[in-house]
Structure 1
Amino acid sequence: MATLRPLLLLLLLARGCGGEDAEVLCADSACYTLHRTESSWKSAQERCWKNGGNLAAVGSASEAARLRELLATARWTEPAWLGLALPKGQCVQPQEPLRGFSWVAGGEPGNFSDWTSEPAVTCLSARCVALRPPGPHGPGGWLDRTCRSPLPAFLCKFSFQGMCGLLPLAGRGTVAYQTPFGVRSAHLAAAPLGTLAEVECDSGRHSPLAVCKVPLAGGGFAWHPPGPLCPVTCGHRNGGCQQRCLDGPGQSPRCACHPGYVLAADMASCLPEDSCHPNPCQGSCRTLPGGFECGCEPGYALAADGRGCSDVDECESGPCQHQCRNIPGGFQCHCRPGYRPAGPAGRRCEDVDECAHPHSCPQLCINIPGSFRCACRPGFQRQPGGDSCLDVDECLRDPCPGACRNFLGGYECLCPPGFLWDGDGHGCSPREAIPNAIPESSSSIPQISSSIPQSSGITPQSSGITPQSSGIIPQSSSSIPQSSSSIPQLQSVPQTSGIPRTTRIPWTTSIPRTLGMPTAGLGAGSDEHSADGPRLLLYYIVGSLVAILLLLAFALALVACRKRAAKKEKPPAKTAADNYCWVPEQPEGRGERR
């Protein structure tokens, strides 16, 4: 202790008799300070740099939480400068996390940012960033402003190699910590390396000094002297020791621990003897009284020796629906092609509906478990070796009794005379018989009339017959049938002896109706058959001409037959007297001579 006191006095002289009062928060390997001094950004940075640090940099969410905790402890509600700035001549980059700003302490910019409002886009003036604490105005965050404008506070950050814990005291007393960055504080949860602790004991004894400097075997730091300071006799509060207090002649009280425990870094408390250091287990180690216990991470089982860990093959229990692959410490479930993971941890598999994706098939898509199948609409067929659909030419199978017209996805029949389309348009069927009642046409129909020639009777000329033939003249007359129209109408023929009576011929319409030809009401004007109009008109004309020629031939044949029948009828027998005429007698002159 005598050799340490001159060193501590030198530290006090180097740092001055006092220090600046500021709020301090130390954690891990850094300390943050809040200075309530109005200054510009440049002057604030100079103050931090003079004490061995920089304006605070915030590189993560945990670091931002520490700064907010520091402001909350100090009950500070005004903005404070941070170490983030944009030099003059550089432009704000709205697409970047730091918007083109950089930390004055250097290093990687990182991806963390906490902007409460977007900075002004500029390239002409220097901009600096301040931290606004949470409050009535909002959750708080970063905001930019001109670097020359003063703010009432600023935040500094100081980095160190390590920290010491609280200095243990055996008796009552107070500790004042003088930090290496010139801040004096009585409330530190951890003290950085090089911190000087000045203790004032309530017993009135001398004020001891301690410094954080001694690294421990595990890499930590501790106070020297280790304490506890403000010692009293072991009879008073056990000398400040947790378990045992040793007080020898001419020695200050010191602490000790029971077997199985070791003295902690504060030299007052005791910890269980660390049987796990170094770790004798492959996995975790837990210290027990007089020994230790090994454990393994999930997915591993403790080996037979009680120290090692072996992997557990979870796939033996069949946790997956399809396929299971064991990996160190766990397993992975996989689904067969056409399925996707479902359920907790992806252990089940559900079918993927490939047909839900557009353009899976050119026409029809049929989903099946684990896959899908493409199909074609009726009238198409699959292309060999591919999924495209080609039109089927149904007319090659000759499905129609007449002409056939193929189109994409189907065909239609063009029916000949005497046939009608089926209901689906893919076939023809014979037309039904024409009903007996056929309406008469209003057009004039000519008559063909004929008469049977008759022989004239005998004309008596006188009571006597003279050898002179003067009036026996054979007479016969017949009328020639006349036609006044292209479509004749046969009337009843006068009955003649020996000739059978001809029945009346039924009327024929002015334009014959051909079987199988379209008429009004049968869809002649529909769009489906409009392309076949010229062909159907030709059928219509040809059918009409054939019907007219048949009627004319029938009429001529009937007339010829009548004439032949009249010639075969024999005339009555003639006598020699038929060639003479009777001349009236002249009275004879009796006895007169001329």
Structure 2
Amino acid sequence: MAIARLLPLPLPLVLVVVVVVAVAVRGSGGEDAEVVCAGTACYSLHRAELGWSGAQERCRHNGGNLAPAGSPAEAERLRELLAAAGWPGPAWIGLSLSRGRCVQPQEPLRGFAWAAGGEPGNYSAWLSEPAVTCLSSRCVSLRPAEPSGTAGWADGPCRAPLPAFLCKFSFRGMCGPLPLAGPGRVSYATPFGVRSPRLAAAPFGTLAEADCEGGEGPAFALCKGPLEGGGFAWHPPGPLCPAACAHRNGGCQHRCLEAPGEPPRCACRPGYALAPDMASCLPEDACRPNPCQGTCRTRPGGFECGCEAGYALAPDGRRCLDVDECLAGPCQHECRNTAGSFVCLCRPGYRPTGPGGRHCRDEDECARPGVCPQLCLNVPGSFHCACRPGYQHQPGGGDACLDVDECLRNPCPGPCRNLPGGFECLCPPGFLPEGDGRGCRAAPTAGEEPAGAPDSAPPSTGIPRTTGALRTAGVLRTTAAPWTTGAPQTLGIPVGGATPPAPTAVRSAPGPEHSADGPRLLLYYILGSLVAILLVLAFALVLLACRRRAAKREKRTAKSAADNYCWVPEQPESRGAGGERR
């Protein structure tokens, strides 16, 4: 094989490399997809009609997750991937809201979480606010930039299939592009099952296949590591497709060396060291290996460490410390510091607004239907429930409104009837309601003087006189005899026992007064009916007694025919000598 000729390695090591290459070649038939690798992660675009869960399962099967976009740099990397692939449609990303969790409008991610876990961060790119729900799961897709807008996030049902999805795969390190000494083409088979003809960086475990022009067969190299001092490199280091140093300097950046019986090899000028790709050269400096926690930059006579945004260089000049951005007060309400960033939060009753959600505006809770049973009053940061006139809040707390029984405070001079949200005053028979709705005045009858005349009636009319208290100021007052004095007719009850007329109702607007005269009015009706029945019975008894007395008187004065004669007592007869009666 070509590897055996390229590498004068011991036989056991050659066999191991051959087995690894054979296995990799056998499993290298992965799908062709657009891939971008940078730093310690690779992002891939897959074209497949799947729901969010199916897409996540595909990514996880290859050792990754649906791609997050937790920072502006990462979001830009995903947008560049879509643009490089020429993909015009949406694609799933790893942001979802599980069933049972509620949307949180005050948070940047609105309560959603990344499939890979970790801190939520304060970066968001919502094209529109997600649907407010607690009962259904929602998943997020990345929408490419349109000519009239920008790229961003949109939520939707997780089961609805989309034609593409984005995956992210993290690795310990990367190898650079595989160097070629001669003309040829390289194809990379990544560990996550994707083949690509071009990679600016290849993750650990990637198998590179070089098809050299004029060669007897393809050559292979594997990204391995870490090497001494850190870093990852191709094994064999290359350059593959060997050629004479006369052709493109043997693929070397500085010097190409040839020795009899050996393939060409690269070397560097003084002050430089050969890079892990064994073709390029790097300045010899203190940044290899990297002594910094963050980035390292070579300086004359030393190095300089740097940190990412959100971190500051420690006093020792090497470590990076998290910056507490909340000390500068960037948020209107509350600020929560996170690793390398911060999150603005709004107090309950407010919603985030403005760039980055740093400002808060009052939320009108009363705009939602069914917030209060009757009336709703919006206040800054909250709201209050109120009741309409004639109602009051339920005792012991709660927003429920109960009807107020105004009759409990005796707002009427007579009977009172409670109504939903109000009450009404009742006038007795023979009385009419006053204009204020609370008093009663006597109804004028035939021959009676109109209202405002002296409270008296001529004796010939037979109309009983009402008490002076009942006509004072035109309002019925409560007295010992609340209606009228005299015969039962003043109560509107006929002597003959007929049913009394119904009292006149006077409706009144709701007020703070209360009364419970319903039972009292019923008692008046019962007592009136009993009085009428007793009067009828008394009249019947008197009539019966008079008839009996007249009958006795007639019997006592009656005479027979014998009363015109006088009876004489019987006397004995005198007899003569002859014994005859004379």
Q: TM-score if structure 1 supplies the norm length?
A: 0.46
Q: TM-score if structure 2 supplies the norm length?
A: 0.47
Could you say which structure has the larger radius of gyration?
A: 1
Comparing both chains, which one has the higher relative contact order based on Cα–Cα distances under 8 Å and sequence gaps of 6 or more? 2
